[in-house]
Amino acid sequence: MLSAQFLLTGELLGFDDFIPSFLAVDSSEILKGVNYASGSAGIRQETGKQLGVNLELSKQLENHHTIVSRIVDMTLYNSGARKVALNGIGPIGCAPYSTANYDTKGSLCVDSMNDAVNYFNRRLKSLVNQLNNDLADAKFIYLNAVGFGSEYTASPGFSFKLNGCCKANEHGQCVPNQTPCIFRSLSLFWDLFHPTEVSNKLSALLSYRSLKKIL
């Protein structure tokens, strides 16, 4: 399944045909290119592991920073990619699962998780600057996922809810055949993890505005 935010961003960029999901193709079609933007799926073994939220989060994010560097440097650039956007990690400490299962210590979100996210994003932004300096004719851009969220949550007219819109099961996903919240357009999260359509649309629009800098 394609990531909804990236699909919407692609539509804003003018794309009307997307490479298929890896789950929807056979072995011969994989050689032509498939989309691995599904949860816990990846070409590299490391990217197929769930990120997780625990006391080792900073170390895990550091490992993911190394993976990003390898993929961009060894694969994308050597394959001819010259315009690349690297999306930062969003404030996972604000996800309903995080606030329901970890101590917020009176804050709106789990700040320790967001501190780890901010650390990773700072390193990613530094990596983008390094790649622009080291790789000839390259145009890399860092998309600030945390900034996207704060831009509209900090608005005086902000009325979105951070809690999920449906009754969740033990895995944090919606319980089947249950009635969701009435005002779904006012919720940023559908279940305890996944953003709603309005959240994806807002993020896609802000991503598009940033991407125009390298187009």
Of the candidates 105, 86, 104, the residue with the CA atom closest to the CA atom of residue 94: 104
More confidently predicted of 55 and 23: 23
What is the average pLDDT across 29-37?
73
Render pLDDT for 155-207 as a digit per residue (tens, 0 to 9). 544 556 678 899 999 888 899 999 999 888 888 889 998 888 888 888 888 88
Give the total residue count for the chain: 215
User: In the predicted model, is pLDDT for residue 20 greater than 60?
Assistant: yes
* Local structure of 155: helix, strand or coil: coil
Phi and psi at residue 90, to the nearest 5°:
-75, 175
- How high is the pLDDT of residue 58? 52
Which residues have a Cβ under 8 Å from the Cβ of 211 and sit 6 or more positions away? 9, 13, 85, 141, 143
Stronger pLDDT, 91 or 61, i.e. the higher one: 91
Question: Which letter does DSSP use for residue 1 in this model?
Answer: -
| DSSP for 57-85, written as a single string | HHHHHHHHHHHHHHIIIIIIGGGT--EEE
Between 113 and 26, the higher pLDDT residue: 113
What's the one-letter identity of residue 90? G
Q: Which domains does the chain carry? A: 54-211 (3.40.50.1110)
Alpha-carbon 136 to chain mean position = 27
Query: What percent of the chain has a predicted confidence (pLDDT) above 70?
Result: 73
Residue found under tokens 């789990």: 110
Confidence class for position 66, pLDDT limits 50, 70, 90:
low
- Tell me the two tokens of residue 31: 């050689």
Closest CA to 202 of 22, 63, 8: 8
* C-alpha 211 chain-centroid distance: 15
